[in-house]
Copies of this chain bind each other. A is one copy, B any other.
Amino acid sequence: MRENMKYKKLEEPLLYDGSPIEPFWAFKEHKVKGSSMVAWIGPMNIKPAELIDYEDVGLEIKSGQMMHFIVEHFDRQPADIKTCYHRQRILVMIVKDILGELGINTSRDGDDLYFKGKKLSVSIATCSNSSMKIHFGMNVRDKGTPDDVETIGLLECSKTLDDEKINGLIDKICENYINEIESIEEDITKTKVF
């Protein structure tokens, strides 16, 4: 019943080109089998063919350095995008919460985080019949982002952040998200239904 999600942090600065949102990417590319959360730091430049958000068609989705999170869930069969978007919101709210504890007070609009009106993150959720996928990317440095959007990176939001703390932040986000999903599963097993 427990999701028993696996967490893997990649050491290489992998380019996020959109392909990691495909089902089974974690297993096919990184031998991570089952529900999982894979995270790493790297640039982003989404290939048009990999676009998931029909509202983004024709836009540049790129950044020079982001922390990336790829979540995959197999606990609901068939998988559905509605559940997945609920989890995406939970993930973004967890990130906002952790940033707040670091003194970085962001505002949230759906699945986007902003710092002083500047865009800090991108996110999408999708699914196939058998798994649910989430990508969440957050700028580490404000470089390489599209010219027509005001963006910011985490290192510009707080002077006390450094590369080591960025690393700890990635771990903390994954730990809290995984614990949250597990605690939901736990609660189901103690609750009367009608």
Contact = CB atoms under 8 A, between A and B. Distances in A.
A62 to B, nearest CB: 19
Contacts of A89: 90, 180, 184
A190 interface: yes
Contacts of A100: 100
Interface stretch (A125-133, A137-145, A146-154): A125-133
Interface stretch (A7-15, A52-60, A113-121, A165-173): A52-60
B110 A187 contact: yes
Give me the 9 closest cross-chain CB pairs, A-B, nearest first. Answer: A77-B82, A128-B194, A86-B86, A77-B80, A78-B80, A93-B93, A34-B189, A1-B35, A85-B184
23 contacts: A1-B4, A2-B2, A4-B4, A23-B193, A27-B190, A53-B191, A74-B188, A76-B82, A77-B81, A77-B82, A77-B83, A77-B188, A78-B79, A81-B130, A82-B184, A83-B83, A83-B86, A90-B90, A125-B187, A127-B194, A128-B129, A128-B193, A129-B194
Interface of A: 1-5, 22-24, 27-28, 33-35, 51-55, 57, 73-83, 85-87, 89-90, 93-94, 96-97, 100, 108, 110-111, 124-130, 180, 183-194
